[in-house]
Amino acid sequence: MENIYNLTIEQLEEYFLGIGEKKFKAIQTYSWLYEKRISSFDEMTDMKKSVIEKLNEDFTLESLKVIKVERDKEVNKYLFELYDGSLVESVLMRHDYGTSICVSSQVGCNMGCRFCESGRLKKVRDLKAYEMVLQILEVEKDIEKRISHVVIMGIGEPFDNYENVTNFIKIINHPKGLAIGSRHITVSTSGIVPKILEFADFPYQVNLAVSLHAPNDKIRNEIMPINKAYKIKDIIDALKIYYKKTNRRITFEYIMLDGINDSDKDAQELCNLLKDLNCYVNLIPYNETNNIQYKRSKNDRILKFYDIIKKNNVGVTIRREFGSKISAACGQLRSKKEEL
């Protein structure tokens, strides 16, 4: 039986037409699922009994199991168990502009970035769209508030699970779905070039972030094996096409790793690489983990790196650190649990 939260509005309309009902029942159903938050189809008081029976036959409303919640002032971290026993996590962050959630898109990740906990644990499977939707619904239930921003930056490579991720975006962006504005949704990729090009034609104005983490192929090859398949130049060329089509500014993520990618020369080389793009760089202080040897760059190094980029007139920010105390970086909670 399929989970009802997996369906985009078009798919649900098709379903109703297929069972000889009017298309608008899809909107009605969305409003029960996402506005009224029912836990059983029987609560849909404006639906005929025969339709409710059919929905009960064809769909489940089953949610994710919350295994663990870690709470801090600015961050909550959730560990979920999926129907097959797989574990994924979501992180909720409170900002002055609202709340954002970092959603996982796969169980594990095959990209194998050397600094990343998620990459240490090989991909088991892709998440279905409903498993991403339910991460949001469960967290909203817990905090009793609506989430304003969504970043697909948890465990997994979203562009290695393109169809489910784009369906997920359609569902949460729909005004009768979770109604999260497309400009409040960000997808982060390690740089899967063919999918960046496909994404350029995806007709939703969502933000794209690219995990660059190095100013040249030599360094990037060492820390991100995916760079052997898609070189930095291929990524930049794809992003130029993406920009031409979407006119949307690109974010580059850059983890600051002590002695690896954080020299003055690296900063200058990064600026030369990015100077023709409408973009900005988000410097991320590395969140150290027990299993991986890399160290976070010293604070004064991060500030110097920041200054060089700024002087070159490239937009730059330093990511505020969230929840390093409660293992909030990508894959860390799940990884701890798997070791128990």
User: Which of residues 161, 190, 207, 246 is near ligand SAH by CB under 6 A?
Assistant: 190
Known catalytic residues? 89, 330
User: Which of residues 6, 76, 118, 332 is near ligand SF4 by CB under 6 A?
Assistant: 118
The yes or no reply on residue 219 touching ligand SAH (CB under 6 A) is: no
- Closer to ligand SF4 by CB, 102 or 178: give it: 102
Instruction: For the beta carbon of residue 300, count every other beta carbon within 10 angstroms.
Output: 8
Return d(Cα 105, Cα 168) in angstroms, integer: 10
φ, ψ at 78 (rounded to 5°): -120, 135
User: Which of residues 109, 169, 260, 328 is near ligand SF4 by CB under 6 A?
Assistant: 109
Return d(Cα 266, Cα 282) in angstroms, integer: 15
Residue in 313, 284, 262 with CA at minimum distance from that of residue 210: 284
Contact 128, 134 (CB under 8 A): no
The yes or no reply on residue 116 touching ligand SAH (CB under 6 A) is: yes
Q: Is 230 helix (H, G, I), strand (E, B) or coil?
A: coil
- Closer to ligand SF4 by CB, 113 or 309: give it: 113
Q: Which residues contact 115 (CB under 8 A, 6 or more apart)?
A: 213, 223, 255, 257, 286, 292, 294
User: Which of residues 9, 88, 136, 153 is near ligand SAH by CB under 6 A?
Assistant: 153
The yes or no reply on residue 116 touching ligand SF4 (CB under 6 A) is: yes
Instruction: Quote the least distance from Cβ 40 to ligand SF4, whole Å.
Output: 36
Instruction: Quote the least distance from Cβ 287 to ligand SAH, whole Å.
Output: 3
The yes or no reply on residue 78 touching ligand SAH (CB under 6 A) is: no
Instruction: Quote the least distance from Cβ 316 to ligand SAH, whole Å.
Output: 15
The yes or no reply on residue 327 touching ligand SF4 (CB under 6 A) is: no
Return d(Cα 279, Cα 282) in angstroms, integer: 10
The yes or no reply on residue 89 touching ligand SF4 (CB under 6 A) is: no
Fill in the DSSP letter of residue 34. I
Q: Establish how many alpha carbons lie within 13 A of residue 238's alpha carbon, considering only the half-sphere containing its beta carbon.
A: 20
Q: Which residues contact 11 (CB under 8 A, 6 or more apart)?
A: none
The yes or no reply on residue 13 touching ligand SAH (CB under 6 A) is: no
Q: Taking contact as CB under 6 A, which single stretch among the options 23-31, 114-122, 241-249, 264-272 is the one that binds ligand SF4? A: 114-122
Cα 293 from chain centre: 25
List of residues contacting ligand SAH (CB under 6 A)? 109, 113, 115-116, 153, 157, 188-190, 211, 253, 255, 284, 286-287, 289, 329-330
List of residues contacting ligand SF4 (CB under 6 A)? 109, 111-113, 116, 118-119, 156-157, 190, 211, 330
